[in-house]
Chains A and B, each alone.
Chain A
Amino acid sequence: MDAKISVNQIKKNFNALPVVDGVDFSVADGEFVAIVGPSGCGKSTLMKIVAGFERPDEGSVNIDGKPMTRPSPKGIVISQHGSVFPWLTVQQNLMFGLNGDQQHGEKAALADHYAEMVGLKGFENAYPHELSGGMLKRAEIARALVVKPEILYMDEPFSALDALMNLKMRNELLRVLSEERHTVLLITHDVEEAIYLADRILVLSARPTRIQASFKVEQPHPRKLSTPELQQLKENILSQLGL
Chain B
Amino acid sequence: MERLNKIWPPLAVLTAIVAVWWYVVVATESLIFPTPAQVVTGTMELVEDGSLWEHIGASLMRVGMGFSLAILVAVPTGLWMGRVDGAFRTLNPVFQILRPISPIAWIPVAILWFGVGNASPVFLIFIAAVFPMIVQTAAGVHTIEKRYLRAAENFGVSRSRLLRQVIVPAVLPEIIVGMRISLGVAWLVVVAAEMIALRSGLGYLIIDSRNAGNRYDLVIAGMIIIGLIGLALDGIMRLLEKLKVVRWRYGR
A71-B153, A73-B156, A83-B147 are known contacts. Are A127 and B247 too (CB-CB below 8 A)? yes
- A128 CB–B CB distance under 8 Å: yes
**Nearest chain A CB to B163's CB is how many angstroms away?**
13
**A72-B156, A85-B151 are known contacts; what are 17 more A-B pairs with Cβ within 8 Å?**
A51-B154, A71-B153, A71-B154, A73-B154, A73-B155, A77-B150, A77-B154, A83-B151, A85-B148, A85-B165, A85-B169, A92-B165, A96-B152, A96-B157, A127-B248, A128-B248, A129-B248
Whole-angstrom CA separation of A86 from B154 in the bound complex: 17
Chain A residue with Cβ nearest B154:
A71
A86-B248, A127-B244 are known contacts. Are A53 and B150 too (CB-CB below 8 A)? yes
A73-95 near B? 1/0 per residue, CB < 8 Å: 10111010111011110001000
- A97 CB–B CB distance under 8 Å: yes
Interface size range on B against A:
20 to 34
Do residues A87 and B245 form an inter-chain contact, with CB atoms below 8 A? yes
Do residues B155 and A99 form an inter-chain contact, with CB atoms below 8 A? yes
Most buried by B among A53, A73, A92, A96: A96
Whole-angstrom CA separation of A81 from B150 in the bound complex: 12
When distances are taken between beta carbons in the complex, the residues of chain B under 8 Å from A88 are 165, 169
Do residues A87 and B246 form an inter-chain contact, with CB atoms below 8 A? yes
Whole-angstrom CA separation of A1 from B249 in the bound complex: 49
CB<8 Å pairs between A and B, sample of 16? A53-B153, A72-B156, A75-B154, A76-B155, A77-B154, A83-B150, A86-B248, A86-B249, A87-B172, A87-B246, A88-B169, A96-B152, A97-B155, A99-B156, A99-B157, A129-B247
Which chain A residues in 80-123 approach chain B with CB under 8 Å? Answer: 81-83, 85-88, 92, 96-97, 99
Chain B residue with Cβ nearest A71:
B154
Do residues B155 and A83 form an inter-chain contact, with CB atoms below 8 A? no
When distances are taken between beta carbons in the complex, the residues of chain A under 8 Å from B148 are 83, 85
Whole-angstrom CA separation of A83 from B144 in the bound complex: 12
Whole-angstrom CA separation of A145 from B245 in the bound complex: 25
Whole-angstrom CA separation of A85 from B171 in the bound complex: 12
Chain A residue with Cβ nearest B153:
A71
Do residues A85 and B166 form an inter-chain contact, with CB atoms below 8 A? yes
Do residues A129 and B172 form an inter-chain contact, with CB atoms below 8 A? no
Q: Which of B150, B152, B158, B169 contacts A87 (CB 8 A)?
A: B169
- B159 CB–A CB distance under 8 Å: no
- A147 CB–B CB distance under 8 Å: yes
- B89 CB–A CB distance under 8 Å: no
Do residues B158 and A99 form an inter-chain contact, with CB atoms below 8 A? yes
Do residues B147 and A81 form an inter-chain contact, with CB atoms below 8 A? yes
A87-B169, A96-B165, A129-B251 are known contacts. Are A79 and B155 too (CB-CB below 8 A)? no
